[in-house]
A = this chain, B = another copy of it.
Amino acid sequence: MKELRQISVIGLGLLGGSLTRAVSRSFPRVKTVGFTHRPATREKARLLAVADKVVDDISQAVSNADLVVLATPIHVFEKIFIEIADVLPAGCIVTDVGSTKTLPHRWAKKNLPKTVHYVGSHPIAGSEQRGVEFARDDLFYQANCILTKTQDTNTSAVNTLKDFWSKLGCLVTVMTPLQHDEILANISHLPHVMAAALINITRPEQLRLAGKGFIDASRIASGPANIWADIFLTNADNTSKGIDKIIAELRKIQKALKAGDQKQVEKLLETARNKRDTMIKYKMSKRELT
C-alpha cells in the first residue's frame, strides 16, 4: 500500500475543509495542502487554519501530492483534471468526494495520464450547511463511504483509499460507478427532489403551520441549489427513473385511498415502517446512529 505523505484537497467548502481537518486529526504526520479557486475562500481557510498550507496556485497544490482529492462541484472536475494532468507526480492517486461517479470516471479516463490512478470516493456525509466555516474534523466519523472502480482501476490504489477512509472513521463499500449512481439516485437524489417538490407545492401560509415531521422531511431541500442541480444533472437518467418509480408507488397508495381500502393502506404503511425500523436497527448496530 502506498505511503501518504502529502494530501492535497482542491475545493475548500464544507467537505474539503472537513477533509483536511480530519486528515490532520487522524494522520498527524501527513502534510495537508489546500487550494480553492476563490481568493476570499483561501483567505478564510488560512484564518481558520483548515490545512497545513493553503496555496494560491493549483499546480503548486498538487505537484508533490501522494493523494489529490477533488472537493469542488462535479461539473468542474473535467476542467481540473485537464489543469493538473501534466503536473501530477507519477504514482499519485486522484480521487474526489462528488456525489455522482459515472461522469468523473469517464473524465478521469479521458484526461488523466496513465501514470496516475483515479478511484472514485463518495463519503456520504455533509449537511445542509455549506462553506469552510462549518468544516469539522469529525464529519466523516461513522459515515458510509463508497469507493468506485472499473475494470481499469488500479487495485493497489483502491486498497490505499480503503485504508485511508477507514482510518478517518468511514464504513467503506466498493462498487462500480454505475451501481453507485443507481443506488444514490434512490437514497439521496430522489429524496432531495421530493423534498424540494413538497416545499414548492406548499403555500407559505401553510408552511407556517407545519410541524416537526414536515420540518425533518424537508430539511434536505435547504441544501445549496447549485450543488444539487450539479448532482442531479450528472445523474439525470437514474434520478429521472427514480421519479418514475416514486410516482408509481404514490399512485398505488392513491388507488387504495380512493377505494377506501383500509387494509391495503395499512399494509403499505406497515411495510414501510418495518423496513425503516430494520434500517435504523442496522445503523445502530454499525454505530452510524446512536
Taken together as a complex, chains A and B put the C-alpha atoms of A275 and B196 apart, in Å, by 10
Interface residues of A, count at CB 8 A: 89
Q: For the complex, give the distance between the alpha carbons of A206 and B181 in Å.
A: 11
Q: Are A187 and B173 within 8 A (Cβ)?
A: no
**Smallest CB–CB gap between A128 and chain B, Å?**
8
The answer for the CA separation of A240 and B190 in the assembled complex, in Å, is 21
Is A57 close to B, CB under 8 A? Answer: no
Nearest CB of chain B from residue A266's CB, rounded to whole Å: 4
- B268 and A211 form a contact (CB under 8 A): no
Nearest CB in chain B: distance from A15 CB, A: 13
Asked if A262 is an interface residue, CB under 8 A from chain B, the answer is yes
Task: Report how many copies the assembly holds.
Answer: 2
Contact check: which of B196, B213, B250 meets A197 at CB < 8 Å?
B250
- The answer to whether B276 and A199 have CB atoms under 8 Å apart is yes
**In whole angstroms, how far apart are the Cα atoms of A206 and B90 in the complex?**
36
CB pair B194–A217 under 8 Å, yes or no, is yes
Interface string of A210-231 (1 = CB under 8 A from B): 1111111111111111101100
Minimum CB–CB distance for A257 against chain B, Å = 5
Give 1 or 0 for each of A119-158: 1 = CB within 8 Å of chain B CB: 0000011110000000000000001101000000000000
A209-B194 CB under 8 A given contacts A216-B216, A218-B276, A276-B218: no
Tell me the complex Cα distance, A78–B50, Å: 63
Taking CB atoms and an 8 Å cut-off, the chain A residues in 156-201 that contact chain B are 173, 183, 186-188, 190-201
Closest Cβ neighbor of A146 among chain B residues? B209
- CB-based contact B246/A198 at 8 Å: yes
Does A83 reach chain B (CB closer than 8 Å)? no
CB closest chain-B residue, reference A244? B254
Residues of B within 8 A of A188 (CB): 210-211, 213-214
**A232 interface hit (Cβ, 8 Å):** yes
In the assembled complex, 21 residue pairs joining A and B whose CB atoms fall closer than 8 Å, in A order, are A125-B211, A146-B209, A186-B201, A188-B210, A191-B198, A191-B214, A191-B217, A194-B246, A194-B250, A197-B249, A197-B272, A199-B276, A201-B248, A204-B279, A207-B278, A215-B283, A216-B220, A221-B272, A229-B269, A232-B257, A244-B254
* Residue ranges of A at the interface with B (Cβ–Cβ < 8 Å): 124-127, 143-144, 146, 173, 183, 186-188, 190-204, 206-226, 228-229, 232-233, 236, 239-240, 242-254, 257-258, 260, 262, 265-266, 268-273, 275-280, 282-283, 289
Starting from the known contacts A200-B271, A213-B220, A215-B289, 7 additional A-B residue pairs (CB-CB under 8 Å) come to A183-B206, A187-B210, A193-B253, A196-B253, A225-B273, A233-B262, A240-B258
